Amino acid sequence: MLTILLATYNGEKYLSAQLDSLLAQTFTDFTIWVQDDASTDSTWDILVGYHTRHPEKFHITKCSMNSGSAKNNFFELMTTVRSSYLMLCDQDDVWLPNKVEITMAKMKSMEKLYPNTPLLVHTDLQVVDRDLKLINSSFKNQTKRDYMRMEFNQVLNLNNVSGCTAMYNLALAELLYEVPKHCIMHDWWLQLVGVAFGKVGHINEGTILYRQHGKNACGAKDVTKLRYKLNRLLNGHELKNVLYQTCRQAGCLLEMYQDKFTDTQKKLLNDYAAIPETRKIARIITIFKLRMFMPSFSRNVALIMFI
């Protein structure tokens, strides 16, 4: 059985389109587990309506208090809901009809290669505006992602998995038993655990209309534009802050899964987590020693400048 985990909060404007796209999937053997984060608009009424019309498909709950972020809401779902397969779903996108079918096919093929292994599958996205007009047919190309960069040292400082495209199996779900103290985003954490203890597969096809409406939790930035590159260089303190957050995230990962890591993984995490406490030259040496480079020249320049 597949369970789709949907975290909602004040999503009345786009929620119905997303729910309709889930019900229109070519693969139909799934349930939708929705947790609403104490919405103050009509989101809950919309969910009740869908649950009433499709009681076999929807399991809906509402938090008594807002958790503070979509990340927290998703982590509550990810650490409690168990199923043979799980997918993460944002409230404001639209899934293409074959999204679940082709992702499940990839998952099944990976299971044959890696039985009894924690597995994660993710796909590309089609970037669209608020009215679903195409902006870029490939989020991967727009953001210069390289889905082949899935070595453990490569994912500590860069997330390649968009949660709204992800499917993971029960073996990986069972490793998500606690909400981390320090985590940048829930999908990044999912990627870290998947790479550390299992296998990650990707599909070079946009299976989702990734709606950009100005209030996205993350959004799709065009990293190829000069304005983006200049902004990163002119706001080095922000980049440094993000880099140091990844170091804290690595330290938290080591603390939570200490008994599961190999000695090599432990050393990598220890060295990376210690970066903020060392001098500039030592930080640069650590980056080179661990080969924790970014996928483009400009990002590597920024990394060395502001680490």
- With respect to residue 219, please indicate whether it lies within any of the assigned structural domains: no
177 and 281, same structural domain? no
pLDDT of 234 reads: 58
Position 221 in a domain: no
pLDDT tens per residue, range 193-209: 999 999 999 999 999 99
Last-in-domain residue among 211, 240, 270: 211
Bridge-partner residues for 121, per DSSP? 167, 201
HSE of 110 in the Cβ direction (CA atoms, 13 Å)? 21
Q: Does residue 216 form part of some domain?
A: no
Whether 62 shows a pLDDT value over 90: the answer reads yes
% of the chain with per-residue pLDDT over 70: 91
Is position 70 within any domain?
yes
List pLDDT tens digits, range 137-147: 999 999 989 99
Q: Is residue 217 part of a domain?
A: no
Based on the fold, state whether residues 40 and 99 are members of the same structural domain: yes
**What confidence score (pLDDT) does residue 288 get?**
82
The pLDDT-based confidence of 263 (bands split at 50, 70, 90) is: very high
- For the four alpha carbons of 261, 83, 200 and 78, in that order, the dihedral sign comes to negative
pTM of the full structure? 0.89
- 196 and 237, same structural domain? no
Within 13 Å of residue 242, how many CA atoms lie on the same side as its CB?
Answer: 12
Per-residue pLDDT at 228: 59
Taken in order 279, 285, 288, 291, the sign of the CA dihedral is: negative
Residue 16 CA: distances (Å) to CA of 54, 90, 231, 299:
13, 12, 36, 38
pLDDT at 280 over 90: no
Residues 230 and 207 in one domain: no
pLDDT digits (tens, 9 = 90+) for 226-253: 565 566 555 656 778 888 999 999 999 9
Considering the domain architecture, whether residues 180 and 289 belong to the same structural domain is answered as no
How confident is the prediction for the chain on average, in pLDDT?
Answer: 92
Q: Please say which residue of 186, 211, 236 terminates a domain.
A: 211
Residues 236 and 170 grouped into a single domain: no
Structure tokens at 191: 């990627």
In a domain, 156, yes or no: yes
Residues 275 and 190 in one domain: no
Q: Is 226 helix (H, G, I), strand (E, B) or coil?
A: helix
Q: Which of 153, 152, 139 is nearest to 293 (CA)?
A: 153
Count of domains observed in the chain: 2
Query: Do 182 and 55 belong to one domain?
Result: yes
Domain boundary among 177, 211, 245: 211
- Give me the domain span that covers residue 26: 2-211
Residues 274 and 196 in one domain: no
pLDDT (mean) for 166-190? 97
Query: Given this model, what pLDDT does residue 304 score?
Result: 74
Q: What pLDDT is attached to residue 215? A: 63
Q: Are residues 254 and 186 in the same domain?
A: no
Tell which residue, 270, 229, 38, has the closest CA to residue 144: 229
User: Is residue 154 assigned to a domain?
Assistant: yes
Are residues 54 and 198 both part of a single domain?
Answer: yes
Residue 220 lies in a domain: no
From 76-80, 83-87, 151-155, 240-244, the region with the lowest mean pLDDT? 240-244
What CATH number does the domain containing 175 carry?
Answer: 3.90.550.10
Same-domain check for residues 120 and 268: no
Which of the four pLDDT bands, split at 50, 70 and 90, describes residue 287?
A: confident
Which pLDDT does position 299 carry in this prediction? 73
With bands split at pLDDT 50, 70 and 90, how would you rate the model's confidence at 218? low
pLDDT at position 187, please? 98
pLDDT tens, 97-112?
Answer: 999 999 999 999 999 9
Judged on CB neighbours under 10 Å (0-12, 13-18, 19+), 164 is: buried
Instruction: Indicate whether 216 pLDDT > 60.
Output: no
